[in-house]
C-alpha cells in the first residue's frame, strides 16, 4: 500500500468511521430514498431559473496588466440564487482583490450550474486560453447528491488542478460544503449527507495539495451558521442567498490573496499560533480541515523535507474573514459595464 493510499484511507475512512451504505438495512434504505425524493421535490418547487449575469469584466483601476481571475465549478461558483452579478462570489472577490493588489482584476467565469467534477475538464480547456493568474474552484455538492464515486470525483478535480498549476496558475479550491444543513433534508439522511460531504471535502484536500493547489474548507460556512440563520439561504432552501455568498467569499479571500502575494501580513496578527499555523501529515490535516470553517491547507516542508513518516506535510491556517466590498462598491469597481 502506498503512502498516498494510506493517506486517502485515513481521510476518507478512518477519520469518519468509513463511508457508504454497506451497513444500512433494506428498510432504512427505503426511508433514505423517500427522504431524498421529498427533499428534491421541495427544492425543485422553488427552482431557480437562469441565474445571475456572469459579471465578467474588469474591476479596479490600478496600474499594470490585469490579474486574470478565473472561477470554476458549479452553481455555488455561479452564484445561483441571487439576481445581481455583484452579489456573486466571483464579482465580490474580483473587486476585493483589485483593492488589495492595487491592480485591475479581470473576472472570467467558467462555472456552470449543475456541474460535477468530471465537467471541470471542459471548463479548464476554456480557461487555459485566457492564461489565468489565479483560479477558484467550488465543486462537490452535485457529486454528493448524485452519489458519484468518491475516487472518480476526486480524480477529475486533481487533474483539473494539476493542469492549471502546470500552466502557471495559482489554484484555490473551496471544498465541498456541508449538505447536512439543507433544510428540506430530514434525519437520518441529513446525518449521511453531512458524512458524505466531509468525506469528499477531506479527499478533495489531499488531491488538491498533491496537485500543487491549496484548499479552504467551506463546510461550516454552509453549516452551523446556515442552520441557525435561514436568511443565508435563497428561496429554494438549497443555494445561498446574497448574504450567504458574501460569507463564503470572505472566507476564501485571504487564501486567494495570499496565493497572489497580496494578503497583508498585518491582517493575521493577533491570531493564536495554533489557529494561524499548524503542520500535520496531509491526511490528518485534511480530516481536521473538513469540518472547520475557513481552514486553509497547502503543502509545506519540515526541516527541508516535504514528506514525513506519515506522508506529505501540509500546513493548516485559519485567518480572520475580512470585510468585503458591498455589491454596490463592487459595481462601482468595474471599469466597464460587466458582460452578460
CATH code for the domain of 264: 3.40.50.1110
For the cut 80, the answer to whether the pLDDT of residue 9 exceeds it is no
pLDDT digits (tens, 9 = 90+) for 304-339: 899 888 889 999 998 888 888 888 888 888 854 444
Domain-located, residue 3: no
Q: CA torsion angle for 149, 32, 238, 108 (degrees, to 10)?
A: 10
CA distance 299 to 301: 7
For the cut 90, the answer to whether the pLDDT of residue 38 exceeds it is no
Q: CA torsion angle for 31, 34, 38, 39 (degrees, to 10)?
A: 60
pLDDT of residue 133: 98
Domain-located, residue 16: no
Q: Which one of 38, 159, 225, 236 is the catalytic residue?
A: 236
pLDDT digits (tens, 9 = 90+) for 252-295: 999 999 999 999 988 877 665 445 568 999 999 998 898 787 89
pLDDT of residue 181: 61
Closest CA to 261 of 103, 146, 31: 103
Cell numbers given for 313 = 506535510
Domain-located, residue 279: yes
Q: What is the mean pLDDT of residues 14-22?
A: 43
Domain-located, residue 11: no
pLDDT of residue 45: 39
Is residue 239 flagged as an active site residue?
Answer: yes
Domain-located, residue 115: yes
Q: pTM of the entire structure?
A: 0.83
Long-range Cβ contacts of 226-230 (<8 Å, 24+ apart) = 226/181, 227/181, 230/183
Highest mean pLDDT among 14-18, 42-46, 134-138, 223-227: 134-138
Q: Give the containing element (helix H, strand E) for 214.
A: strand 214-216
Q: Which one of 54, 74, 75, 76 is the catalytic residue?
A: 75
Is residue 117 flagged as an active site residue?
Answer: no
For the cut 50, the answer to whether the pLDDT of residue 29 exceeds it is no
For the cut 90, the answer to whether the pLDDT of residue 206 exceeds it is yes
Q: CA torsion angle for 206, 211, 217, 219 (degrees, to 10)?
A: -60
Domain-located, residue 4: no
Domain-located, residue 2: no
Is residue 125 flagged as an active site residue?
Answer: no
Domain-located, residue 339: no
Task: Give me the number of domains the chain comprises.
Answer: 1
For the cut 80, the answer to whether the pLDDT of residue 135 exceeds it is yes
pLDDT of residue 7: 52
Q: What is the extent of the structural domain holding 138? A: 33-44+52-333
For the cut 50, the answer to whether the pLDDT of residue 235 exceeds it is no
Is 233 strand, coil or helix? Answer: strand
pLDDT of residue 71: 98
Q: Give the containing element (helix H, strand E) for 215.
A: strand 214-216
Q: Which one of 74, 217, 239, 255 is the catalytic residue?
A: 239
Q: Which residue's C-alpha cell is 467551506?
A: 218
DSSP string, 251-307: HHHHHHHHHHT-S-GGGGTTS-HHHH-EEEEHHHHHHHHTTSTTEEEEE--BTTBSE
Confidence of residue 231 (pLDDT cuts 50, 70, 90): low
Amino acid at each position: 500500500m502506498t503512502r498516498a493510499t494510506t493517506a486517502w484511507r485515513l481521510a476518507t475512512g478512518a477519520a469518519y468511521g468509513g463511508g457508504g451504505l454497506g451497513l444500512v438495512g433494506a428498510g432504512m434504505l427505503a426511508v433514505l430514498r423517500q427522504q431524498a425524493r421529498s427533499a428534491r421535490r421541495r427544492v425543485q418547487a422553488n427552482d431557480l431559473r437562469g441565474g445571475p449575469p456572469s459579471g465578467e469584466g474588469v474591476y479596479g483601476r490600478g496600474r499594470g496588466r490585469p490579474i486574470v481571475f478565473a472561477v470554476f465549478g458549479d452553481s455555488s461558483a455561479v452564484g445561483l440564487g441571487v439576481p445581481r452579478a455583484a452579489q456573486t462570489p466571483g464579482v465580490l472577490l474580483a473587486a476585493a482583490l483589485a483593492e488589495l493588489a492595487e491592480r485591475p482584476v479581470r473576472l472570467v467565469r467558467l462555472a456552470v450550474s449543475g456541474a460535477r467534477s468530471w465537467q471541470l475538464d471542459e471548463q479548464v480547456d476554456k480557461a487555459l486560453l485566457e492564461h489565468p493568474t489565479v483560479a477558484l474552484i467550488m465543486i462537490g455538492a452535485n457529486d454528493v447528491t448524485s452519489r458519484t464515486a468518491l475516487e472518480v470525483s476526486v480524480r477529475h478535480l486533481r487533474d483539473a488542478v494539476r493542469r492549471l498549476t502546470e500552466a502557471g496558475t495559482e489554484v484555490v479550491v473551496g471544498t465541498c460544503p456541508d449538505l447536512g444543513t439543507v433544510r428540506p433534508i430530514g434525519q437520518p439522511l441529513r446525518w449521511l449527507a453531512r458524512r458524505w460531504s466531509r468525506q469528499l471535502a477531506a479527499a478533495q484536500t489531499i488531491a488538491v495539495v498533491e496537485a500543487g493547489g491549496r484548499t479552504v474548507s467551506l463546510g461550516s460556512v454552509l453549516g452551523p451558521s446556515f442552520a441557525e440563520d435561514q436568511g443565508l439561504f435563497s428561496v429554494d432552501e438549497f443555494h445561498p442567498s446574497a448574504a450567504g455568498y458574501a460569507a463564503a467569499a470572505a472566507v476564501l479571500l485571504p487564501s486567494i490573496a495570499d496565493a497572489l502575494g497580496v494578503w497583508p501580513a498585518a491582517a493575521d496578527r493577533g491570531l493564536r499560533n495554533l489557529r494561524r499555523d499548524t503542520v500535520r501529515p496531509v491526511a490528518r490535516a485534511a480530516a481536521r480541515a473538513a469540518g472547520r470553517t475557513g481552514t486553509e491547507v497547502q503543502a509545506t516542508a519540515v526541516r527541508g523535507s516535504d514528506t514525513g513518516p506519515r506522508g506529505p506535510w501540509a500546513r493548516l491556517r485559519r485567518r480572520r474573514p475580512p470585510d468585503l466590498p458591498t455589491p454596490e462598491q463592487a459595481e462601482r469597481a468595474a471599469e466597464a459595464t460587466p458582460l452578460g
